[in-house]
C-alpha cells in the first residue's frame, strides 16, 4: 500500500474554521455568555471516539469534562471498504453521549472531526449525514495534513528549548502521521509559539519561523497493521513482520535516509501505543496522566517493555492491567511501529505525549479567537 504523500499542499482553510452546515446553535459566531466561553473537541478515529470540553486558562486550558469510548469504527474496513452497520451503531451511541455532554455544559464553540477510517470508507459521507440527522452534530472528515498539523501543535508545550530538529509521530488506528520540523532558525524561547503557527498549514510559513521539512501519512495504524498480518500465527514472527513492513512504507519520507545530528534532535510520540508503553515502563496499574505526559524514555527502556510484551504472549497481554482490555489486541502493532521509528532516527530518547487531536483542536479554536495569543507554550 502506497502512503499518502501530499507535499506542500496549501491549507485553504485554517484548522479552526467553523464547519459548513453547522447550526447557529452549535457554533455561535459571537460567544457572549458565561457558558459560551467553553470549547469542545471530538476526535472520531478508527478505534475510538474521544471528546474534551475545556475552558481557556492563561495560555493553556482547563479540562472540565472528557469522554472516550472504543467504537472500532474501522472494524472490517480493510476487507469491505465500508463502515459496517455494527461499527456505525456503536459510534452513534458514543456520539449521542458527546452531544448530551456538550448540551449540558452549554458549550459555545466546538469542532468535531473524523480521520482515516472515514477518509477511506465508501459510505463515510452517508454516515456523517446520518450522524447529523440523529444527533445534530456536524462531524468533518479532515484530510491527513490537517490531522498531522493538529497533532503537532498539541505537542508544542513538550518541545525542548534546545530542540532544533523535531519529529512528531502520531500512531493512530488507521494511519500514522510523521512531521519533521526544522526549528534551527527560531529563537529557543519562541519555538513553542512557532509550532503553534503551523495550524494554518505546512507551507508558506514566515521566514525565520518553524519550517516543515517533510511530512507523511502512512495508511498503517494499529488496527490496519493488525488486520494485514492477522493470518500469521506466531506472535514473535508477526511482530517482526509488522515492524519491517511499516519501515518499508517510510522509505518515501525524505528525512528517512538523511544524516541528522543527534544533538538538538527530539522525537515526540503521541498515541495510545506510546502512553501504554510508558505506563507499562512505570508499572502503573492505574493510569496516571501526570506521570506519563512529558516522560522521557530511552530506546533501551522501550525495547525492554516490548520484550516483556512478547514474553507475555497474547493471553498474558490480555490480563496485564498496565495494557488494558481495550488495547491488548492492538499494542503489538503499535509497538512494531514504535520500534521501527526508534530504529531509524538519530536519537535514543522519545518524549511521551498524552495529547493529540483533541488538544490540537482546542488550541486551534482558542488561538483563532485570540485567547491564546502566545500559543500553548510552557
pLDDT, one tens digit per residue, over 250-284 is 887 866 555 555 678 899 999 899 999 999 999 99
* Amino acid 261: pLDDT: 57
**Chain CA centroid to CA 111, Å:** 15
pLDDT tens track for 333-359:
999 999 998 888 767 899 999 998 999
| Least confidently predicted of 13-17, 108-112, 282-286, 309-313 | 13-17
Give the three cell numbers for residue 262.
Answer: 543527534
**Grid cell listed for 51:** 471528546
* Distance in angstroms (rounded) separating the CA atoms of residues 268 and 174: 19
DSSP state of 150: H
- Strands of the sheet containing 60-70, edge to edge, are 60-70, 48-57, 39-44, 109-114, 140-141
| Rounded Cα gap, residues 290 and 288, in angstroms | 6
pLDDT at res. 102? 97
Q: Which three cell numbers stand for residue 309?
A: 510484551
pLDDT at residue 82 is higher than 90: yes
Q: 166 with 327: CB under 8 angstroms?
A: no
Of the chain, the percentage scoring pLDDT greater than 90 comes to 62
The number of beta carbons lying within 10 Å of the beta carbon of residue 221 is: 30
pLDDT at 27: 37
**Confidence grade of residue 24 (pLDDT, cut at 50, 70, 90):** very low
User: At 205, is the pLDDT very low, low, confident or very high (cuts 50, 70, 90)?
Assistant: low
- Closest listed residue to residue 136, CA positions, set 89, 90, 100, 104: 100
Q: Report whether pLDDT(324) > 90.
A: no
Mean pLDDT of the chain: 85
9-18, 36-45, 192-201, 303-312: lowest mean pLDDT where? 9-18
Give the pLDDT mean for 191-202.
Answer: 81
- Chain-centroid distance, C-alpha 112: 14
> Residue 16 — φ and ψ, nearest 5°?
-100, 0
State yes or no: pLDDT of 52 exceeds 50: yes
What value does the mean pLDDT take over residues 216-232? 92
CB burial of residue 161 (10 Å; 0-12, 13-18, 19+): exposed
Domains of the chain plus CATH, in order, are 147-357 (3.30.420.150)
pLDDT at 26 over 60: no
Q: Of the ranges 3-12, 93-102, 230-239, which one carries the lowest mean pLDDT score?
A: 3-12
In 87-164, beta strands by DSSP E: 109-114, 140-141
pTM: 0.82
Specify the pLDDT at position 342.
87
Given this model, what pLDDT does residue 28 score? 37
DSSP state of 129: H
pLDDT, one tens digit per residue, over 119-173 is: 999 999 999 999 999 999 999 999 999 999 999 989 988 999 999 999 999 999 9
The pLDDT score that the predictor gives to residue 1 is 44
At 255 the pLDDT is 66
Of 5-19, 90-104, 189-203, 286-300, where does mean pLDDT reach its minimum?
A: 5-19
76-83: average pLDDT: 91
So what's the pLDDT on residue 8? Answer: 38
Amino acid at each position: 500500500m502506497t502512503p499518502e504523500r501530499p507535499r506542500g499542499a496549501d491549507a485553504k482553510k485554517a484548522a479552526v474554521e467553523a464547519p459548513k452546515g453547522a447550526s447557529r446553535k452549535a457554533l455561535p459566531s459571537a460567544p457572549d455568555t458565561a457558558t459560551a466561553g467553553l470549547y469542545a473537541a471530538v476526535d472520531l478515529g478508527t478505534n475510538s471516539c474521544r471528546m474534551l470540553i475545556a475552558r481557556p486558562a492563561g495560555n493553556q486550558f482547563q479540562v472540565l469534562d472528557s469522554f472516550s469510548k472504543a467504537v472500532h469504527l474501522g472494524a472490517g474496513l480493510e476487507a469491505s471498504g465500508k463502515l459496517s452497520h455494527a461499527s456505525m451503531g456503536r459510534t452513534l451511541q458514543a456520539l449521542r453521549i458527546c452531544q448530551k455532554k456538550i448540551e449540558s455544559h452549554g458549550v459555545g464553540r466546538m469542532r468535531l472531526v473524523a480521520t482515516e477510517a472515514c477518509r477511506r470508507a465508501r459510505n463515510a459521507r452517508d454516515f456523517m449525514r446520518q450522524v447529523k440527522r440523529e444527533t445534530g452534530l456536524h462531524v468533518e472528515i479532515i484530510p491527513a495534513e490537517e490531522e498531522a498539523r493538529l497533532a503537532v501543535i498539541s505537542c508544542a508545550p513538550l518541545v525542548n528549548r534546545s530542540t532544533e530538529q523535531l519529529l512528531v509521530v502520531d500512531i493512530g488506528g488507521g494511519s500514522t502521521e510523521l512531521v519533521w520540523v526544522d526549528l534551527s532558525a527560531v529563537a529557543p524561547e519562541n519555538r513553542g509559539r512557532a509550532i503553534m503557527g503551523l495550524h494554518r498549514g505546512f507551507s508558506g510559513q514566515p521566514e525565520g519561523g518553524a519550517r516543515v521539512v517533510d511530512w507523511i501519512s502512512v495508511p498503517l495504524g494499529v488496527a490496519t497493521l493488525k488486520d494485514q498480518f492477522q493470518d500469521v500465527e506466531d506472535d514473535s514472527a508477526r511482530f517482526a513482520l509488522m515492524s519491517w513492513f511499516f519501515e518499508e512504507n517510510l522509505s518515501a519520507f525524505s528525512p528517512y535516509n538523511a544524516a541528522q545530528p543527534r544533538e538538538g534532535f527530539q522525537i515526540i510520540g503521541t498515541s495510545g501505543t506510546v502512553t501504554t508503553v510508558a505506563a507499562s515502563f512505570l508499572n502503573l496499574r492505574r493510569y496516571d496522566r501526570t506521570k506519563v505526559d512529558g516522560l522521557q524514555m530511552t530506546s533501551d527502556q522501550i525495547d525492554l517493555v516490548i520484550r516483556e510484551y512478547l514474553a507475555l504472549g497474547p493471553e498474558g497481554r490480555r490480563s496485564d492491567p498496565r495494557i488494558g482490555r481495550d488495547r491488548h489486541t492492538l499494542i503489538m502493532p503499535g509497538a512494531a511501529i514504535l520500534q521501527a521509528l526508534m530504529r531509524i532516527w538519530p536519537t535514543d530518547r522519545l518524549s511521551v505525549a498524552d495529547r493529540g487531536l483533541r488538544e490540537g483542536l482546542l488550541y486551534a479554536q482558542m488561538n483563532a479567537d485570540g485567547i491564546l495569543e502566545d500559543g500553548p507554550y510552557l
